Structure 1
Amino acid sequence: MTELTFKLKTEPEDKLVFKYKDEKTVVLELKVKNVLENRQTIKVKCTDNSLFRVRHPLSFIKAGETATVVITAKLENLKDPSGHYFAIYHMACDDMEKTAREVWTAESKPEGVHRIPVVFEKETEAEKDKNEEVKAVKNEGEEKNEEKNEEKKEEEKKEEEKKEEEQKDTSESKKKDESKE
């Protein structure tokens, strides 16, 4: 049987690298972008449910949007690091009434599948420090973006209130003009 062509984009694309030092669990994010013109539903499966936890294994992605799947590896359950992979299945779903679980039945026929191998890498102390610095800088940038978004929302709200006030003033002026006639 030939593998179905995967039509979405993933990040990372070619492998999932779980870097660890002494941690018992390692968490990483898999991003799945819908580059198609219609809504898609995805299903993420793993090779070992005692080793991996996937949140959210079933979801919908609107056209042009990206879903983030959080994967946790419980390293105390790691017996053999080789041969593990994740399979991401997708299919179109325009039914807005059903949940993803209702869409993915035993009879469901995925339109595409992408298998991403898993790699476990022991991290050195220097790499761990560097990664923590990068995460700190990234978090700082995200906080600034959130502040900008809040400021923008506040400005939009003020602008909307101003427009409503102007409309109210205009309608009151019209009423006064009509009553004078």
Structure 2
Amino acid sequence: MSTIKRGLKIEPEDIITFSGDLSKEVRVTFSVTNKSDQKLAYKIKCTKNDAFKISNAIDVIPSGQQRQITITYRPIAEEISDRHHIGIYYIPAPEGCTANSVWKEHYGPPCGEYRLRINMDPTQE
């Protein structure tokens, strides 16, 4: 029986905080772990692409493995509010596929989705 319903484990699981001097680039790292019994493809999107750069925004994770994702906040002219978030979507990935190819061929909603709220805290180092 497939355990895809367990999907991904995200750490931290609800909020990503960018802290310190927000007039400079600030990096935050979080982990994505495949808790299912099959290979999964994930895709990460953000509500403010000109302010946040995501490394490894699309990839395939074998069962039981983990990926580290780095998000870099790049200061922009407007103030970033706490209403922004990161969306992490996943689908099953057939053997031999690439992350780009499986997402190009996928139709319909993803099998699962997580949201990480973005918190901006210039008072914390």
In 2, Cα distance between equivalents of 1:33 and 1:49: 24
Once the two structures are aligned, what percentage of the paired residues are identical?
A: 26
- Count of residues in Structure 1 that have an aligned counterpart in Structure 2: 120
In 2, Cα distance between equivalents of 1:6 and 1:70: 23
In 1, Cα distance between equivalents of 2:6 and 2:45: 15
- Corresponding residue number in structure 2 for 1:73: 73
In structure 1, stretches of 5+ residues that fail to align are 129-181
- CA, structure 1 residues 101+51, in 2 after alignment: closer, same or farther (shift >3 Å)? same
In structure 2, stretches of 5+ residues that fail to align are none
Q: Give every structure 1 segment of 4 or more consecutive aligned residues whose post-TM-superposition deviation is greater than 3 Å.
A: none
- Corresponding residue number in structure 1 for 2:116: 116
Structure with the higher fraction of residues in strand conformation: 2
3-state DSSP of counterpart to 1:104: helix
Tell me, yes or no, if structure 1 residue 100 matches structure 2 residue 99. yes
- CA, structure 1 residues 78+32, in 2 after alignment: closer, same or farther (shift >3 Å)? farther
Q: Which has the higher contact order (CA 8 A, sep 6+)?
A: 2
Q: TM-score, normalised by structure 1?
A: 0.61
Structure with the higher fraction of residues in helix conformation: 1
In 1, Cα distance between equivalents of 2:32 and 2:49: 21
Larger Rg: 1
